[in-house]
Amino acid sequence: MKRYLRLLLVTLFTVHCSLLITSAQTAEIARVAAAVKTMECDFVQTKQLKLLNDKLVSKGRMYYRQSDRLRWEYLSPYTYTFILNGNKVLLKNARKSDVIDTNQNKIFREIARMMMSSVVGDCLSNEKDFKSSIATTPTEWVATLEPKRKDMRQMFRQIILHFNRSKSMVSCVELIEAKGDKTIIELKNVKTNAPIADTLFALD
C-alpha cells in the first residue's frame, strides 16, 4: 500500500506540474495551468516489468477542480479510488474505504503539499527536488527529471514528461523506477473548465 501511494503521489504531481523547463516554456505552461479551473480525462497506465515480457495495463478516469479537489479512479481491471478533498483523503477499493486526515499523516501531507505547489506554480522554479533536461520535437516538449531527494531516488531513476506543444499540457508521464521497471501513464480525452459535480469529490 505504501509503495502504491508513493507512486500515485509522483504521478499526480507530475501530471499537474511542468517543473524545471526552460523559461519560455515554463511561462507558457504556467499561463495555461493558471487558466485551468477544472480538468477531467481518461488515463491508461501501462506497467512494464524489467524481468518479464508481460505488460500490466489498467484504465481509469481523473477529475480535478482548483485548487484542492482531485479524484483518481481506476476502473479496470480492478477498481480503486483516491479522492483528495481539502485536508482529507479517501482511499476506496471493492472491500473497504478509509478517510485520512493529511495533517496527521506524513505521506498524505506530502501529496497535498505537492499538489498545491503544482497548482499555484511554485514548483516551476523549484530546483531542490529535481535536476532536469529538455528536448524538443515538432509536436512535443520532453522533460527528463532526475530526483535529488534520497527518498525519491530510492523509488525512481527518472521521470519523463511529454508535453503537447499545441496545448502546453502534459499528455504522457513515464516513471522509470530505480530497479528498471517502468510505468507509463497516458492522458486521453482531456477536457478543461467544464462543470464537475461536488459528488465526485465526496468522502462518503
Q: Average pLDDT of each block of 10 consecutive residues along the chain (204 residues)?
A: 55 51 63 80 90 87 86 92 88 89 76 53 57 82 81 80 81 86 90 94 90
- Under 8 Å between Cβ of 72 and 82: yes
Helices (H) and strands (E) in the chain, counts: 4, 11
Q: Would you say the pTM of this structure is higher than 0.85?
A: no
Domain CATH number, residue 131? 2.50.20.10
C-alpha 101, offset from chain centre: 20
Encode 136-172: b = buried (16+ Cβ within 10 Å), e = exposed. Answer: eeeebbbbbbebeeeebeebbbebbbbbeeeebbbbb
For residue 107, what are the CA distances in angstroms to 35, 103, 104, 151, 201? 29, 10, 9, 12, 20
pLDDT score recorded for residue 115:
52
Rounded distance, CA 7 to CA 1, Å? 10
Do 111 and 12 meet the contact criterion of CB atoms below 8 Å apart? yes
Q: What is the pLDDT of residue 18?
A: 43
What is the number of structural domains in the chain? 1
**Range of the structural domain that residue 39 is part of:** 2-201
| Three-state DSSP string of 98-140 | EEEEHHHCHHHHHHHHHHHHHHHCHHHHCCCCEEEEEEECCCE
| Cell 485536508 sits on residue | 87
Three-state SS for 29?
A: helix
pLDDT in the model for residue 120: 42
